[in-house]
Structure formats: structure tokens, C-alpha cells
Amino acid sequence: MDNRSGEHWITSVGIDIGTSTTKMIISRLRLARTSGALSLPRYDIVERELLYASPIYGTPLISADEIDAERIGELLAEDYARAGVRASELKSGAVIITGETATKANARQIVHLLAERAGDFVVAAAGPDLEGLLAGKGAGAEQRSRHTRGAVVNIDIGGGTANAAIFQRGRPAGTMTFHVGGRLIELDRRGTVTAVSRSLKPWLDANGFQLEPGQTASYGLLKQICTGMCQTLLEGLLCPMTQEPMKEDTIKLVLGRPLPVLPPVEEWMISGGVGRLMALPKPLTLEQTAVHGDIGPLLAHAMKECLEASGLRLIQAEETVRATVIGAGMQSTEISGATVHVDEKLLPIRNVPVVKLELAAEALDRPGLLEQPIDHAMVAASSLYERNDAASASIAVALPAQKYWSYAVLQRLSALLVEGYKRYFPESKVMAVICANDIAKALGQSLARHSGGRPDIICIDQITVEHGDYIDLGEPIGGMMIPVVVKTLAFHGGNRR
């Protein structure tokens, strides 16, 4: 590190293990000091340089329910060697297991094993909502929405699912997932169906499509199925905007809950493996369709045609197949101030995702306005992040910086935070709250009174984090100062300032 310039470079890796494919990105991130000379050091990413992008591998499986961890380790070791990078040189990164692969029996064990082998990584077995947000950021939809009047939708279509993420003015406006993917129907080059996903069967039956393994399907039938899937997906996204009721066959393709309402969408993007196939020539025969052993190429062009027929504005995603983990984690270490509320026995804790609470200025003058934004944050967090880790905090709630927090606001805030956390994360024994202002002692004591010891409370201050960051909280040093490692996922899109 150059202490005079206050900047340095770190090597970072991103690994995405998906339903159909596994891939890796290695980057160099330039960090520059953004805090003043008299403040505690804080570094932000100001430049990203791509060093290496791996081939796109088929995700290796031992069986239908288990990932081949040994083979994945071999592939990554080969990529490190090709890139000329030793695992010990990696200072940060992200390992994300996505799509139907995240449901495999050994998914969580693999993601942590890969992280432990090289550096202090952000690790996640991503559910569809989190996967959609990650892909939308990597594809450039989040950044582009900062410059458009309407919202921007990115639909990340892989082998097993299509994850839509909607961004408005740079913020997530909703996510929605569909049983639409290139490997839901597998076939050989003669058109013999080798597999049909259980998740697609209800929609096929509802639309009168008879398709079973061993059956020979015509090109026309497969095209009709792909077009129907794409039309149904688009209808499912347009219904929340028009407030029209969703059809029964559309509901059969929806994974989870439909969105209640969406803002008007100005631009549409397609990422994922299907997004990449959209740029290739359209398959005109069964043999061309089944080049990858599935309907992916035909589904890609059916989606392109449906978007054009609907008059929707399709723009090119910045990244397609590598959108989910296009960058990787950058870490910055900060020290929480002296006004903390924490039981040392709860520390250390690692890899806690951050959810930032959005509070309008008038909410601080009228505590009755706090309920809706807190409930909205908890609902969003519960759909994005896992809730079954009882020993640690499921999420960390970040409060924005404000000039003044009144006693009445802190009391109302405490009650609502504890109530919401218990409702949406009932198994979690620890609740973490991060304050930008020096209010952690008072707020922590109020949170503890309202929680009654379940969950335990960690409340720290003087830390700046953003929605989507991950944090580690270390053991106290020098009394009650808490070292906090902030892990920020770095996505494509030029310099991040």
C-alpha cells in the first residue's frame, strides 16, 4: 500500500455456481482513502480491472440432489493457475450458489468450503430474490435506473428459473421469480425428450401440452411451448403494473408470491445464459435447438420475439451469463465508537447481510410514520436472506444518518424494530442494528427492554454501510471498541465512487 497516495490494489474473485453453469471472475480493485486525515481510515472502490474470466462450465453434479464439490474445487484450481493467481493472494471475494443448485443437499457446505480455502469471502446460497437483485446489479439495471424516468427491469434467465428485479432511481422496487429456464426441458438432437422438470409440469398440463420423457417432440411443439412460457412470464410482470388480476396459468409459473404493484417500466434487460443465447443465431431445427441438450436457444429467441411483439423497449445488458457475480467483495475495516451496546459473548459474528432502513425526514417528527418503512424493510429482508441461523443475526438493520433523534422516536423505533424482527426472523437469537450517529447506547438499551432478552441486542455506531453490504463484527478491542469489516460487492459499470 502507498501511504502517501492513500490508495492500493487488492485481488478479488467472484464465483457463481448455478443450475446449468459455473463460472469465475478475477478482478483487481483499486481502493482509495475517502476519509479525512483526522478521521478513522475508510477506503472505497474507485476502479475495477478485470484480470480473468473463466470458461463457462457445466455445473458438476454427483446426483440430482448433490453437487460434486471435488470437481468444482478442481475447476477453480485450474482457473487460478491459468490466471496466474495464488489462492493466498486473494484478499476478498464472493461465492454465490444460485438457481436450483442452491436447493441441493450440500449447497451450504460447499459455499463455505470454497470461501475458507481462499480469503474472507462473502458467502451465500442465494434464494431467487437475492439472485435476481445480484444479477440486476451485475447486468447494469440498477445503475441505468438512476438515469431513466421509469423503472428498469432485468430478467435473469438461467437453466431453472427466471429472476426479475425491478429498479427505480437506483433502488430495488421489487423482485419476482418464474419457473422459466433453458433446462426445464432436456432433449437430444433428434428431439427425444430426456427430462421434464417437475416445476414446469403444472403449467404444461394447464395449457394442454403433453410432454413426457421418451417422447419425441417436434420443433413446432417446442417453439409453441417456449413462446407460451415467455408470454406468461411477461404477463406476470405486467399485471402488477396494470393492476389486472393474474390468470391461473400465470400463477402456476410463479415461484413464491406475485408482486402486488410495480411502477411503470421504461426499459427491459435479459441476462443469464438465455440472455447470452439471444445474441446468437436463432435455431431453425431440432438439432440446432438441442445443441446444449435443452431448449435454451429456442427459449432465448422466443423471449426476444415476445418482447418485440409487446412493444417493450429491450436494451442490451452490460453482462449476461456472468451477471450474478461479475465482481466480488471489497472489504474495509472500521471501528465502532465507544457508545455501543453489546454482550461480548455474542462476538464474533460473520457474514451478516445489511438492510438499510429508508426514513423520510418527516418520520422523525412524527413517530407514527415509522411503521410502514420498517415493515417494508423487514418484508424485503425476509425474502432475500435466510432465516434459519439461530446462533447469529439473520440481518443487520442500518439506520441512516440524521441530525437529531428524539427520545420519542428512539422509543417508537425500538418497539417496531423488535416487533418486526421477531415476526420475520423468529428463530434468530441475535439482532444487530448499525447506527451512523452516536446513538447506539441509548437505542441499544431501549431495544433490549423491548426484546426482553429474546433476541439479544447488538447495537453499534459510527459505521457507514449500504443496503446489500455484508459485515463481520469482531471481538472488542481496547475496552468496548468493535472492529467491523464491511464487505461490499463490486459490480460491473466502470468506476465506483
State the DSSP string of 25-58: EEEEEEEEE-S-TTS---EEEEEEEEEEE---EE
Angle, CA of 74, 99 and 301, to the nearest 5°: 105
pLDDT band per the 50, 70, 90 thresholds, residue 103? low
Residue that wins the pLDDT comparison between 99 and 140: 140
Kindly report the pTM of this predicted structure: 0.71
CA atoms of 234 and 312, how far apart (whole Å):
10
Cβ atoms within 10 Å, residue 70: 10
CA atoms of 68 and 189, how far apart (whole Å):
27
Q: For 138-195, write each residue's pLDDT tens digit.
A: 888 988 999 999 999 999 998 888 999 999 998 888 889 999 999 999 999 999 999 9
Q: Mapping DSSP to helix (H, G, I), strand (E, B) and coil, where does residue 299 land?
A: helix
pLDDT band per the 50, 70, 90 thresholds, residue 4? very low
Q: For 185-241, write each residue's pLDDT tens digit.
A: 999 999 999 999 999 999 999 999 999 999 999 999 999 999 999 999 999 999 988
Over residues 18-45, the mean pLDDT reads 70
pLDDT at residue 333 is higher than 60: no
What pLDDT does 262 receive?
A: 83
Q: Mapping DSSP to helix (H, G, I), strand (E, B) and coil, where does residue 411 land?
A: helix
What pLDDT does 114 receive?
A: 64
Q: For 415-427, write each residue's pLDDT tens digit.
A: 999 999 999 999 8
pLDDT band per the 50, 70, 90 thresholds, residue 497? very low
Report percent pLDDT > 90 for the chain. Answer: 37
One-letter amino acid identity for 254? V
Residues 6+ apart with CB under 8 A from 209: 221, 224, 225, 228
State the DSSP string of 245-278: PPPHHHHTTEESPPPS--PPEEEEEEEHHHHHHT
pLDDT at residue 111 is higher than 70: no
3-state secondary structure 201-253: HHHHHHCCCCCCCCCECCHHHHHHHHHHHHHHHHHHHHHHHHCCCCCHHHHCC
- For the ranges 37-51, 320-334, 348-362, which has the lowest average pLDDT? 320-334
What pLDDT does 340 receive?
A: 83
Residue that wins the pLDDT comparison between 475 and 248: 248
Residue that wins the pLDDT comparison between 362 and 329: 362
Cβ atoms within 10 Å, residue 369: 14
pLDDT at residue 98 is higher than 70: no
pLDDT at residue 496 is higher than 50: no
Q: For 86-97, write each residue's pLDDT tens digit.
A: 877 776 666 677
**297-323 burial: b if 16+ Cβ within 10 Å, else e:** bbbbbbbbbbbeeeebeebebbbbbbb
What pLDDT does 172 receive?
A: 85
What pLDDT does 446 receive?
A: 95
One-letter amino acid identity for 402? Q
What pLDDT does 3 receive?
A: 41
The helix (H) or strand (E) run that includes residue 330 is: strand 329-335
The number of angstroms, rounded, from the C-alpha of 424 to the middle of its chain's C-alpha atoms is 19
pLDDT band per the 50, 70, 90 thresholds, residue 408? confident
